Amino acid sequence: EAGVAQSPRYKIIEKRQSVAFWCNPISGHATLYWYQQILGQGPKLLIQFQNNGVVDDSQLPKDRFSAERLKGVDSTLKIQPAKLEDSAVYLCASSLSDKNTEAFFGQGTRLTVV
Amino acid sequence: GDSVTQMEGPVTLSEEAFLTINCTYTATGYPSLFWYVQYPGEGLQLLLKATKADDKGSNKGFEATYRKETTSFHLEKGSVQVSDSAVYFCALTGNQFYFGTGTSLTVIP
């Protein structure tokens, strides 16, 4: 079965610019997660979707970050405007449901803000 | 709220040494517990999991037992190899995934 697909793999932007990341989860997976992983740290949950509804976005900096999951499949995460501290790997993951099931991760998008 | 605490690294071992990476958790309800591994330049991969108390997850020679009485899920391997060099993350899930901060392991020949 195909895994979680993310694009782009790498992105370099200047501060105050905007950027968008795309994720295609494993077919049939209802739950989709976006994580931010800063170098040397564990993944931090930004937002969790169940189908096309938001389950948890308590740690999403909503003044600059936004995410959507139209039709309950693909998802995009946007940052506008970017700050230097947004430099990180952005990981997308999906799971069959939100209850005690393992998550499958994509390769991630490495963002560098200069 | 739910959380995971794992031992800080980095950990450096010689090949064939015994490995233990400690992980303890705080959770309401009955979470599932996981160990994920991240090899250099790659994404997170599931290493093993346990879904209820006293379950033992195992894969590639690694083992971890879900201990409800001590709220722990320590990762062990009897004889590490150079190819085991990676960052290991303990995680739990109830309604969402919580990850530990990761433990970097380097195995030297």
* Nearest-5° Cα angle at A111, A110 to A112: 120
Q: Smallest Cβ distance to B51: which of A100, A105, A106?
A: A100
Q: Smallest Cβ distance to A41: which of B30, B31, B101?
A: B101
Question: In this predicted structure, what is the pLDDT of residue A1?
Answer: 61
Question: In this predicted structure, what is the pLDDT of residue B68?
Answer: 93
Question: In this predicted structure, what is the pLDDT of residue B8?
Answer: 83
* Mean pLDDT rounded to a whole number for chain A: 93
Q: Smallest Cβ distance to A48: which of B31, B36, B96?
A: B96
Alpha-carbon distance of A77 to A18, in angstroms, equals 11
Confirm or reject contact between A55 and chain B (CB < 8 A).
yes
* Residue A100 to residue B34, Cβ atoms within 8 A: no
Question: In this predicted structure, what is the pLDDT of residue A94?
Answer: 93
d(CA A81, nearest CA chain B) in Å: 26
Cβ-contact A37, A44 below 8 angstroms: yes
For A1-114, where are the E strands, in sequence order? 5-7, 10-13, 19-24, 31-37, 44-50, 53-56, 65-68, 75-79, 88-95, 104-105, 109-113
Q: Which residues of A touch B34 (CB under 8 A)?
A: 102
Say whether A72 sits in a helix, a strand or coil.
helix
Question: In this predicted structure, what is the pLDDT of residue A30?
Answer: 92
* Residue A45 to residue B98, Cβ atoms within 8 A: yes
Q: Which residues of A touch B51 (CB under 8 A)?
A: 100
Q: Which residues of B touch A56 (CB under 8 A)?
A: 95-96
Question: In this predicted structure, what is the pLDDT of residue B94?
Answer: 72
- Predicted confidence pLDDT, tens digits, chain A (114 residues): 679 999 999 999 999 999 999 999 999 999 999 999 998 888 999 999 999 899 989 999 999 999 999 888 999 999 999 999 999 999 999 998 766 688 899 999 999 999
- Predicted confidence pLDDT, tens digits, chain B (109 residues): 788 999 888 999 999 999 999 999 998 888 999 999 999 888 899 999 999 999 999 999 999 999 999 999 999 999 999 999 999 999 998 767 789 999 999 999 9
CA-closest candidate to residue A55, choices A31, A37, A20 = A31
